[in-house]
Amino acid sequence: MQQRCLEPFSPMTQSSLLSFAELFSFMMAEARPSRPSRRHLAPVEFADVLAVFERAVLELLSAGPQSPRPLQPQPPEGVHRTLVIALQLAALLCRLEPQDDEGERFRRAAYRLVRLDVRGANGDTCLHVACRRESTCLGRQTPALGTVCADSFPAPELVRLLLDVGADPNATDDDLSTPLHV
């Protein structure tokens, strides 16, 4: 509902997406066998995380050239935050087992995200973000997202997925660094 009513990259939408990413991360951490807990949380379902990931990709699509809305200049912080949250969700999905056609839906959504060629802070591509430890910082100085998200990168499984769906390993950021350089 928020995505229909609010402007692209609204802080409210970003906050909702981040809350889901943090919740899923927390639930997955609590469910690890090596971490005994008195809490009995329901397991994280691939479909639930996938639904939020698809919404995050839709948010990034909403301000792109394919959008039915007129394109407005977007603040780079909002684009970067949304991109990092989307990739945080994708990294979580890489650690879960899909059911039926969910794996293919995930790959299609990841492909759409890569094809968008959305650039975050410092001109980072999806692959730069997935490879860089400091991806959750804007301008690599101040944390832009919660600490749960900060623990997600670098994400080797996500890097493999992005390369499989066509991410360009030779793409450069504003410093002319490829993802291998970060």
Sequence-distant (6+) residues with CB within 8 A of 145 are: 18, 81, 84, 85, 88, 136
What region does 87 belong to: left with phi over 0, alpha with psi -120 to 50, or beta?
alpha
Question: Is residue 79 a part of any domain in this protein?
Answer: yes
Question: Is residue 59 a part of any domain in this protein?
Answer: yes
Domain extent at residue 142: 2-164
- 154 closest CA partner among 177, 182, 117: 182
pLDDT-based confidence at residue 17 (cuts at 50, 70, 90): very high
Amino acid in the structure at residue 170: N
pLDDT by residue (tens digit) across 52-64?
A: 999 999 999 886 6
Is the CB of residue 75 less than 8 Å from the CB of residue 115? no
Question: Is residue 132 a part of any domain in this protein?
Answer: yes
Question: Is residue 137 a part of any domain in this protein?
Answer: yes
Integer-rounded Cα Rg, in Å, for the chain is: 16
pLDDT by residue (tens digit) across 94-125?
A: 999 999 999 999 999 999 999 999 898 889 99
| Secondary structure of residue 137 in the 3-state scheme | strand
Number of domains in the chain: 1
Question: Is residue 179 a part of any domain in this protein?
Answer: no
pLDDT by residue (tens digit) across 117-173?
A: 989 888 999 999 999 876 554 444 445 455 555 567 888 999 999 999 999 999 999
pLDDT-based confidence at residue 70 (cuts at 50, 70, 90): very low
Q: Is the pLDDT of residue 13 over 80?
A: yes
Sequence-distant (6+) residues with CB within 8 A of 125 are: 117, 118, 119, 167, 168, 171, 173, 179
